[in-house]
Amino acid sequence: MKRGGLISLVVFLFLVPNVMGLKFSIDGDLSDWGITNDELVQGLNSNESVDPWIPFYPNMESPFWIVEDDVDPQYPGGYDYGVHVRGNGANWWRYYEPKVGGRIQPSPYNKVLGELFDIEAIYVDEDDSYIYIAAVLSTPPQGYPSLGYPRGAAGDLAIDLDGKNNGGYGYEYGIRLGTWDPDGTGAVQFGVYKTDENSDWYPATDFSENSPSVINTSQAEYLFTLTHAAYINTGRHEFVNGTPTDIYTIELAIPKAQLGIPTGKMVLNSYFRVHLAEAGCGNDSGDISIPEFPTIIAPVVAILGSIFFLKRRKERN
């Protein structure tokens, strides 16, 4: 090999790690997260099978995830029931979905109509340069025009990196997922907005507790548009009382540097919240909040337990 060739090869090898690129191919197909379309169909059409939802891929760095398909089995009278779990890596535990404003979700929980607003699953992962989001849901990106705007618009993604006290409803960044823009603000799908005030968001019209829902693009500051993003109809179906309903997926790679996160700084081991209202109405929403509740509560229970144990032992002595 000529010297020039060898130098080029060495330079190339050094460059490879930098150009390795994304951990997932961002196309709406979640099989690179370990969830094939067949597994999606299987998972959405089962009331209790968690297996199809468990992520699996090479170098899996502890993704956090939630599945909350259909109505939580703890509530009688639901239009249909589905898996309710939270997970971290391959581990998972039961998620008891709380009522919102005293009402069971998705709303209306006792009519098939509720399925139109069902958030089914959200996954988050990261590497040095990107935060990755995958979601499974029922609303098309164009929303439900008959419900009006923003009530029927597809929900946008809300991100909190700096605590609940900063940002609109605590979420200082919004990523536009819907395509419906009746305000004529030139809002583009997958546009990233700075949402530091409540007024940068529309509140959820029917369930204010599920705010924020849709970015108010006439107020929020546009920052940039994601290069790697997908919101697609999988062409596959969930069957609800025998009626086929479309399965949509979202897959995003969000560049950390453009959110002010230094390259190489991990957020999923410290603090991160993501919120997605299914539509402007807020009839359902999905959340991942890190640190996860059980990881906070477990040490507290352990400490209380040992205090109790010590006290008992003292009393006996």
Nearer to Ca ion, 183 or 221 (CB): 221
Cβ atoms 117, 281 nearer than 8 A? yes
Q: CA 191, CA 139: separation in Å to the nearest integer? A: 19
- Is 127 a binding residue for Ca ion by CB under 5 A? The answer is no
> Nearer to Ca ion by C-beta: 24 or 202?
24
- Quick one: which of 35, 54, 87, 118 contacts Ca ion (CB under 5 A)? 118
Core vs surface per residue 129-156: b (16+ CB within 10 A) or e:
bbbbbbbbbbbbbebbeebebbbbbbbb
Site stretch for Ca ion (CB under 5 A), options 34-42, 165-173, 196-204, 217-225: 165-173
Taking the C-alpha atoms of residue 279 and residue 147, their distance in angstroms, rounded to an integer, is 10
Q: Is the alpha carbon torsion for 96, 97, 99, 105 positive or negative?
A: negative
Q: Which of 23, 32, 174, 285 binds Ca ion (CB under 5 A)?
A: 32
Which range, of 111-119, 177-185, 191-199, 206-214, touches Ca ion by CB under 5 A?
A: 111-119
Of these, 40, 68, 143, 274, which contacts Ca ion (CB under 5 A)? 68
Task: Report the nearest approach of Ca ion to the CB of residue 71 (Å).
Answer: 8
Q: What is the largest CA-CA distance in the chain?
A: 84
For the four alpha carbons of 189, 195, 200 and 201, in that order, the dihedral sign comes to positive
Cβ distance to Ca ion smaller for residue 153 or 229 = 229
Torsion 116-126-158-153 (CA) sign: negative
Q: Tell me the closest approach of the beta carbon of residue 121 to Ca ion, in angstroms.
A: 9
Whichever of 100 and 187 has its CB closer to Ca ion, that residue is 100
Name the minimum Å distance from CB 201 to Ca ion. 12
Residue from the set 35, 63, 65, 70 that interacts with Ca ion by CB under 5 A? 70
Q: Report how far residue 46's alpha carbon sits from residue 57's, in angstroms, rounded to the nearest whole number.
A: 23
Q: Which residue is nearest to Ca ion (CB)?
A: 167
Instruction: Please pick, from the candidates 119, 153, 175, 250, the single residue that binds Ca ion as defined by CB under 5 A.
Output: 119
Q: What is the C-alpha to C-alpha distance for residues 264 and 261, in angstroms, rounded to an integer? A: 8
Which stretch, 24-32, 53-61, 262-270, 307-315, contacts Ca ion (CB under 5 A)? Answer: 24-32
What is the spatial distance between Cα 313 and Cα 37, in angstroms, rounded to a whole number? Answer: 56
Give the alpha-carbon dihedral of 279, 209, 110, 65, to 10 degrees: 70
Binding status of residue 200 toward Ca ion by CB under 5 A: no
The upper half-sphere exposure of residue 89, i.e. CA atoms within 13 Å in the direction of its Cβ, equals 7
Q: Closest separation between CB of residue 314 and Ca ion, Å? A: 45
User: Considering beta carbons, is residue 127 or 160 the nearer one to Ca ion?
Assistant: 160
- Contacts with Ca ion by CB under 5 A: the residue count is 17
Q: Which of 63, 167, 178, 191 binds Ca ion (CB under 5 A)?
A: 167
Which three-class secondary structure state does DSSP give residue 285? strand
Residues in contact with Ca ion by CB under 5 A are 24-25, 27, 29, 32, 68-70, 118-119, 160, 162, 166-167, 170, 172, 284
